[in-house]
Amino acid sequence: MPDNEVTVTMKARSQNEAFARIAAAAFVSAADPVLSDVTDIKTAVSEAVTNAIIHGYASDPARDVRMTMRMDGGDIYIEVSDDGAGIEDVALARQPLYTSRPELERSGMGFTVMEAFMDSVEVESSPGGGTRVIMRKRLSG
Ligand SMILES: Nc1ncnc2c1ncn2[C@@H]1O[C@H](COP(=O)(O)OP(=O)(O)OP(=O)(O)O)[C@@H](O)[C@H]1O
Ligand SMILES: [Mg+2]
């Protein structure tokens, strides 16, 4: 697949989690990926976009979540960003089972899932300064 890049901007609505999954699958389809890579990428995207909506923006549908997808050689990079609340302690937030919203019945496994399904996950965030999650995966085959 030739190198390519697409950016999608979506409102912070839960239905756009589904849109983001489909957009990521559509983007990567040009690389003729194995099915497991597609499902891994969709799962990681779901977690990152849901976090931006729920935690970044407290589900305020006026706010924008951005997703940039990039193919570079055989690697796919997906960056999900928001200009929302930000994270005070990223290392703590990334720990399995840590959630700041137990009352929403979150399980605190989103970052753990992203790490499990992608080859690398970087998080840049600051309180009030929004959050940027950059994920990379080497496509099989
Ligand atoms: N985009 C974001 N903006 C602000 N805070 C975030 C963002 N993403 C994650 N966080 C913080 O990191 C914590 C851990 O995120 P993680 O996705 O691992 O768990 P969760 O969203 O709480 O639960 P789950 O994903 O299992 O439903 C969140 O509870 C939240 O405090
Ligand atoms: Mg989460």
CA 87 to CA 7: how far, in whole Å? 23
Cβ of 96 below 6 Å from ligand 1: no
CA 122 to CA 134: how far, in whole Å? 5
Q: Which two tokens stand for residue 45?
A: 């995207």
Burial class (CB in 10 A: 0-12, 13-18, 19+), 22: exposed
How many other C-beta atoms are found inside a 10 Å radius of the C-beta of residue 92? 10
pLDDT tens string for the chain (141 positions)?
Answer: 679 999 999 999 999 999 999 999 999 999 999 999 999 999 999 999 999 999 999 999 999 999 999 999 999 999 999 999 999 999 999 999 999 998 888 899 999 999 999 999 999 999 999 999 999 999 997
Q: Which two tokens stand for residue 20?
A: 């983001």
What residue spans of the chain are helical by DSSP H? 15-29, 35-51, 90-93, 110-117
Cβ of 111 below 6 Å from ligand 1: yes
CA 112 to CA 58: how far, in whole Å? 21
pLDDT, position 1: 64
CATH code of the domain made up of 4-138: 3.30.565.10
Q: What is the pTM of this model?
A: 0.97
**Residue with CA nearest ligand 1 atom 28:** 99
CA of 57, closest atom in ligand 1:
3
Write down the domain spans for the chain: 4-138
CA 77 to CA 131: how far, in whole Å? 16
